[in-house]
Homo-oligomer: A and B are copies of this chain.
Amino acid sequence: MSAAESYRRLLAHLAEAQTLASCASALEWDQETAMPPKAAAFRAEEMGLLARLVHERVTHPSVGAWLADCEADPALAADEDAAANLRELRRDFERATRLPSSLVAEMSETSSRAMEVWKEARQKSDFALFSPWLHKQIALHRQEAACYGTPEGGEPYDALLEGYEPGMRSTALERIFAPLREAIVSLLARIGEAPRKPDTALQRARFPVPAQRAFSRFIADRLGYDFEAGRLDESAHPFTSGMGPGDTRITTRYTEDRFLDALSSTMHEVGHALYEQGLPKSERWGQPLSEACSLGVHESQSRLWENQVGRSRAFWAWALPEARRHLGGELDRHGLDEVVGCANAVEASLIRVDADEVTYNLHVMLRFDLERALLRGDLEAGDVPEAWNARMRSDLGLTVPDDARGCLQDVHWSNGLIGYFPTYTLGNLYAAQLWEAAGAAMPGLADDVAQGRFAGLLAWLREHVHRHGRRWRAPELCRKVTGQALAHGPLVRYLEEKLRPVYGF
C-alpha cells in the first residue's frame, strides 16, 4: 500500500471513530439538558459502550501500522497539513495505547466511587471521609504518569498536564505563574487601599428569567454565535458541546437576582462555541487540524469574550441600552460607571467558581502547587486541608471555615482531573495576550465593541486561532499570533488598566 493510501485509510478510520465519539457527545448533552432521571443507569451503559468502541478504533493496531507507513514517507512529511496531522495523531496514539486496560478500568471505577464519596464528604464537610480516595487517586495518577513517561524536560506532573495542554511543562508554568502571582498580590494590595469601591448593589437586582433569557440570546447572536448551527439551553452547570460539524450547543443558567452572572456564563460559553464553530470540522472531520488546540486555548476563547469583551467599558457603552431594552425598569436607575464597576468588582472569596477575574488565578495556582506536591510525594493526601487553608490565608487573607468551602469545593480531584487546573489560568493568560495582539492589529477594536460590532474581532480570531486547530501546539500558536512567548505581562497590564478607573488607584 502506498503511503498516500495509508494516510487516506488512517484518516477515514479516525473520522469514523470521531463520529462515534460525537454520538457520545450528543448523548452527554442530552443527559445534561433533557434526559429523565430513571434513564441514568442505561445511559451509563450506552456511554460505556460508545467509549469502548471509540477506544478500540483509536488504539487499533492498523492505526499504528498506517502511522508508521506515513511517517516513513518524505512526501507526507513535506506536506504541512499532513505533517501536522501525523505529529498529533502519533501523540494521540501513543497516549491512547500506553495505559493498560486494567489501569483504565481501575481509574474509571475509582473515579465514579470517589465522586460519590466526595459528594457526601463535601455535604458533611468531612475531609477524613474523602482523604483515602484522594490518596488512591494520587497513587493511580502516579501510575498513569509513569505509563505515559515523563515528557522531555519535564517531571511526572507534566505527563498529566500534557493530556490537557499538549506541549506545556510545569516548569514553564512556574516561570509565568510566579511573577503573575506577585503582580496579583500587589494589585490586590492597591485595590485594598484604593479610595473608591464600586457599588455592587446592582449585582443583586432582580430581573425576570424570561427577560434575561431573551437578552442572553440577543447577545449571543450579536457576538456571532450561529443559532442555525447551535442552541442555547439551560443546565445546572453551563457548558459547551461542539459535537460535530454544524452542531455546537451551549447552555447557561439564570437566577433572578444574578443577571450579570447569567450574562457572563452565556458570553463565556459563546466564546467556547465560537471557537468550535470556527474549527474546520466539515472539511477535516476526525483530523487534529479540525480539533481544539488545547484546553488553555479553548478557555482563552471563552475568557476573551466573557472578560476582555464582556466586562469592558466599551462593551457596556453599547450593551447597557440593550440591557435596559430587554430587562426594563430597574436598569434605568444605574449608569454606565456603576455597571462597569459592578462587573469588575474584586474581592477575595473562598470559592473558585465564584471568584473575580483577579483572585481566580490565585485559586488556580494554589491547586496547581498542591497537585504537584501530591504527585511528587512531597504532600500527603491527609495533609491537604492544612496546606490549603494556610495558602488561602497567605494568598487571599481568608480563613477557611470548613473543608466544604476549602479543599472539598471542586469536583476535579474526585473524578480524576489532575493536571487540569492550570488550564484555567492559561486561558486567562492567552486571552489577555491575544487581546493585546488583536488590539494592535485592529486599532478600531474598542470603537467597534462600543457599537456592538464584533465581526472584526471574530474574523481575526478565526483567521489567527480557530482555523488552525492543532496545527501548532499552544505555546507555538501563541508565539505565531502574538509575536511573543506566553508571559504574565499582558494579563497584568489588562487587569491594571481596567481596574485603575474602577478603583481609582
Fill in one digit per residue for A1-30: 1 if any B CB lies within 8 Å of its CB, else 0. 000000000000000100110110011001
Copies of this polypeptide in the complex:
2
Chain B nearest CB: distance from A52 CB in Å?
A: 10
In the complex with contacts A34-B34, A34-B231, A231-B34, A246-B39 CB distance below 8 A: yes
**Residues of A221-262 contacting chain B, CB below 8 A:** 226-231, 244-247, 249
How many angstroms from the CA of A227 to the CA of B27 in the assembled complex? 19
- Considering the complex, give the chain B residue whose CB is closest to the CB of A249: B36
A229: chain B residues within 8 A (beta carbon): 36-39
Main secondary structure of the interface of A (DSSP, over half): helix
**A41 near B: Cβ within 8 Å?**
yes
A228: chain B residues within 8 A (beta carbon): 36-38
Contact of A244 among B39, B230, B247 (CB under 8 A): B39
Asked if A23 and B50 make an inter-chain contact with CB atoms under 8 angstroms apart, the answer reads yes
22 CB contacts below 8 A, A to B, read A16-B49, A19-B45, A20-B49, A23-B27, A23-B46, A26-B46, A30-B30, A34-B231, A36-B228, A36-B231, A36-B246, A37-B229, A38-B247, A39-B229, A39-B244, A39-B246, A39-B247, A41-B245, A41-B246, A42-B244, A42-B285, A53-B53
Asked if B34 and A46 make an inter-chain contact with CB atoms under 8 angstroms apart, the answer reads no
**A35 near B: Cβ within 8 Å?**
yes
Asked if A36 and B245 make an inter-chain contact with CB atoms under 8 angstroms apart, the answer reads no
What interface size band does chain A fall in? Answer: 35 or more
Chain B nearest CB: distance from A278 CB in Å?
A: 14
How many angstroms from the CA of A50 to the CA of B26 in the assembled complex? 13
Chain B nearest CB: distance from A279 CB in Å?
A: 13
Asked if A22 and B39 make an inter-chain contact with CB atoms under 8 angstroms apart, the answer reads no
